[in-house]
Amino acid sequence: MPDPTSTLRFWLINGIGWMLFGLLSLAMSGAFGAGASSGGTLISVGLAIALCAVSGAVRALAVARHWWQLEVGALAVRLALAVLLGAALAQLLLTAVLQPALALGWVDFAGRPADFRPLARVLYWLNTVLVLGLWTAAWAGLHSLRRARHAELARLRAEAERSALERDALRARLNPHFVFNALNNLRALILEDPERARDMVTRLSRTLRQALAHNRSEQVTLSEELAVVDDYLAIESIHFEQRLQVQRHINADALQAQLPAMALQLLVENAIKHGIAQRPGGGEVRIHAALDHDVLRLQVDNPRPSGSDDIHGHGIGLAYLRAQLGSQGRFTLQPVGQGMQAVLEIPQ
């Protein structure tokens, strides 16, 4: 549907433009046509009005038929045909008014006869084609520039939204609660178990480095991703202790499969955050990975808090994961029995 503001602006400019054309035509008729005449005035005013209506009709047709979504060549052909037919229609309308007016004696050409020979009609039509064509080309060019500017603005908005999503995903990777809990647990371990504290510092350092090192288009092997998951789970096991149980079923032939960096870690983090952490007694997180017909299938299952109907599938981290996959994979999150099941399928 055309923008009402744009349509109003077009008709304002269109009306002013053709009014100026009519005034210029009257001035030229008086200066070079051996003086002004009522017939010349009718032609100047009538042609300006007819071309104003025709140009408006061409614009309405182009908008209604979505001509600007066509290739440049197809658009040019349609505009050219519209100009040729529109000029012919304007001349027909003018002739339909001028000939009866001359016959009834309402107008004249200051004693000069009107020329309606075929050659003269062709010349009138070509002159109208030239004027209407120049006006249409100017309007079409400005319209195309405005569409290109709007498309560029839309692209820049999309880039800004993607950057914001990446920034939010980075915050999701560096979950502040996870870091806060890890540091608190580390402080307690320093005096109780220095060796374990050193191991936790190493794992936390690797986890943070992995979160910061990868961009959204980078791919890693499942083996590399599992190393990140192992570090993450080791840190979380200090916080949750016996409340967190992990069961892994990883097929050996899937270890070299490719997936987006931190993808599996996001699923595991989501399972702990919305499953284990919400249950007083904790529970078990099950991680499955297999390669089936060149498709890497990752599955993470976790218990669901009692009475919870929230499938928590719209968080920042999962939105980022869906953006990473695009059309090159499939992600689902759904309740299964008393738990939640996240499935990620990535073609290789």
Instruction: Give pLDDT tens digits for 249-271.
Output: 999 999 999 988 888 988 898 88
Other beta carbons within 10 Å of 264? 25
Q: Tell whether pTM > 0.75.
A: no
Confidence of residue 213 (pLDDT cuts 50, 70, 90): low
Check residue 91 and give its pLDDT: 92
- Beta-carbon contacts of 29 under 8 Å, excluding residues fewer than 6 positions away, are 36, 37, 40, 41, 43, 44
How many whole angstroms separate alpha carbon 268 and alpha carbon 176?
16
Confidence of residue 297 (pLDDT cuts 50, 70, 90): very high
How many whole angstroms separate alpha carbon 314 and alpha carbon 168?
13
Check residue 164 and give its pLDDT: 64
Count how many residues are written for the chain. Answer: 348
Check residue 89 and give its pLDDT: 93
Check residue 167 and give its pLDDT: 57
Confidence of residue 170 (pLDDT cuts 50, 70, 90): low
- Beta-carbon contacts of 225 under 8 Å, excluding residues fewer than 6 positions away, are 259, 261, 262, 263, 264, 265
Q: What is the pLDDT of residues 60-89, one digit of tens each?
A: 898 888 888 888 889 899 999 999 999 999
Structure token digits, residue 347: 């073609």
Residue 238 pLDDT greater than 80, yes or no? yes
Read off the DSSP letter of residue 302.
E
**Across 133-147, average pLDDT:** 88
Residue 155 pLDDT greater than 80, yes or no? yes
The better pLDDT of the pair 255, 206 is held by 255
Q: Is 153 exposed, middle or buried (0-12, 13-18, 19+ CB in 10 A)?
A: exposed
Strand 244-250 with 283-291, pairing = parallel
How many whole angstroms separate alpha carbon 209 and alpha carbon 262?
11
How many whole angstroms separate alpha carbon 341 and alpha carbon 304?
10
How many whole angstroms separate alpha carbon 233 and alpha carbon 177?
15
Residue 34 pLDDT greater than 50, yes or no? no
Instruction: Tell me if residue 335 falls in helix, strand or coil.
Output: strand
